[in-house]
Structure 1
Amino acid sequence: MRLYYCFLNLFLILFLNLNCIKTFQVLEDPPPDKEGLVALGLIVAKWGHRQNNFLGLEAPHGRHTELGSITDVSKIIFMSDQEKDIEGDGNYRFKWVTKFSMGREKSKTPQPYYFALSQLPREEMLFLKSASYSYLTYHHYTYRDANGNVHTATRVEQHWHTVPIDSTSTEKETPRFSNLGGKKIHFLGNFIAHPINPTGGNDRTPYNGTYVLTDINQYIAKNRTINESLLEMYYGKEEISRKGAEIHFLKRFIVENRSRYWGGIAIKQLLELDPATKNTVEREKIKITSDVPETGID
């Protein structure tokens, strides 16, 4: 236990660029038949007419973003939190969830947005069926008060826009995956949901066609109009590769998730994957026990 928090404190020092986190999400330890954690980075393109390009890149919202099953077309898994609040020490509030999203939409600085999904059905082939995001519209109107004076006001409305993901496109290969189980975090990569050849859509009416998924790094390589700060968000200071994406995710996961079970597994995977972190741990003389997946770090 002490060594787990010692290692965690090391990461808090290394990643002070993360905003102060008042609420820690804690993934529930899975039952024996539902082990294995699946994670991916995701962002959704908001298409419109302005300069024939994106109006913006939106963080996906779990309420309407959903997984589908290849083997059972009637099955839909919504990527929203299923949580119970538990009182914690001090100012912290712990949330026990079966799946949770990392990233903070209200942050002053751009944040990567991840989904980490636990307790998925074992060995059932899944795919991202749809992605959703929220946006605001502003409606200006005038009214007359009791004294006959005319006033102007604005009504703000929040909308949810869901776009279907084409899982059969010949142009893009949509990742299909299953929960392979085991005491392991299976990181799929970072993806952008975007149209292939879009028409329509503007500031007020989003594009309603079908979207496809592309690896963020591959997309930026072919579309230089997208701000490359995306690479910094999803890769940090790591190399621009699948390995670098996973290292960056694991580092954030260790800081943002406070489950000793999953945190211990993430630490073990990070040390195996990243020699630089391993060297830091050895230099700081932090001892990591060999039974991390079973008991966390005692």
Structure 2
Amino acid sequence: MMSHDQLLDLLRRHPNQYVSGAMMSEELNVSRTAVWKQIRKLEGAGYEIEASTRLGYRLVYSPDAISSEELTEARSSQRFGQSVHYYEQVKSTQDAARELAEAGAPEGTLVLAEEQTGGRGRMGRGWVSPQGKGIWMSMVMRPHVPIHCAPQLTLLTAVALCRSLRRLTVLPIGIKWPNDLLIHGKKISGILLESAAEDERLKYIVAGVGISVNLSERDYPEELLTKATSLRIEAGGAFSRSAIVKDFLAEWETLYDLFLQEGFSAIAALWESLSVSIGQKVRLITPQGELEGVPVGLEESGAIRVERADGSIVTIFSAEMGEPLSRS
């Protein structure tokens, strides 16, 4: 029986070239239907194979492997990523990390998955997380801070990820309040922090981060193509997922230590410098209703200050922020 490796080896022996179905069938001694079925399985594993009725098949993209051993050995962070739990598939890295946190896993314990079947973002939304294309991760954090500081850590995570990705990709990535990362108005990352408290102190936080690294246009439902993108789509080339995880963990830990030592003010200044929301008229959907205004800065709590048309300033703690209504 033909294996994945045999089919991949055949395609890789003809880089940037089409291999006809007849040739594949003959060389591998299987039917053309068997070839087609194996190609579908490879696509399900994250490989991109271009098909042409006249020419055959051509390998376009192979997913890069994330090595938990490499991450553990080569990381420059001291605590973040000290223990890596790697899965081929999970329903949600958040759920897996929460179970570890409840069992006493130390701060910095990291859960990575090649694929999530039930990934989720803020407000219970689903998250597109196909196999071998992105970074789907959650980490256990145990900060000794009051529970009201949790929103600050959400913003801190966004700053760390934005700074890291800008450095690695040289793409114009910015942050939309509170924690969405965008390129040219399209989302490339989502961040979700879920906490457990005890006696008004944080017991632990599970910080989930999804990064659309090497997804192609065909990985997204058509209705999301105007709203979502990936680093690969924007840069025109693929990136090493392991390199991104390592750099992000180091940046994340550096800013986390700064936060624990000096408070939120330095993080807030960094967030404002990376924001695509500040100075732009936007519509916000809050629990109390809709409002329009121009975000002007962050509060110490992590809430955002918004200037209304009449000059009044309102403080927003929770809202869904829309696209800019006008640009300054």
Higher strand share: 1
TM exceeding 0.5: no
TM-score category of the 2 structures, normalised to the smaller one? under 0.3
TM-score of the aligned structures, taking structure 1 as reference length: 0.26
TM superposition score normalised by structure 2: 0.24
Higher relative contact order (CA 8 A, sep 6+): 1
Q: When you count helix as a share of all residues, which structure comes out higher?
A: 2
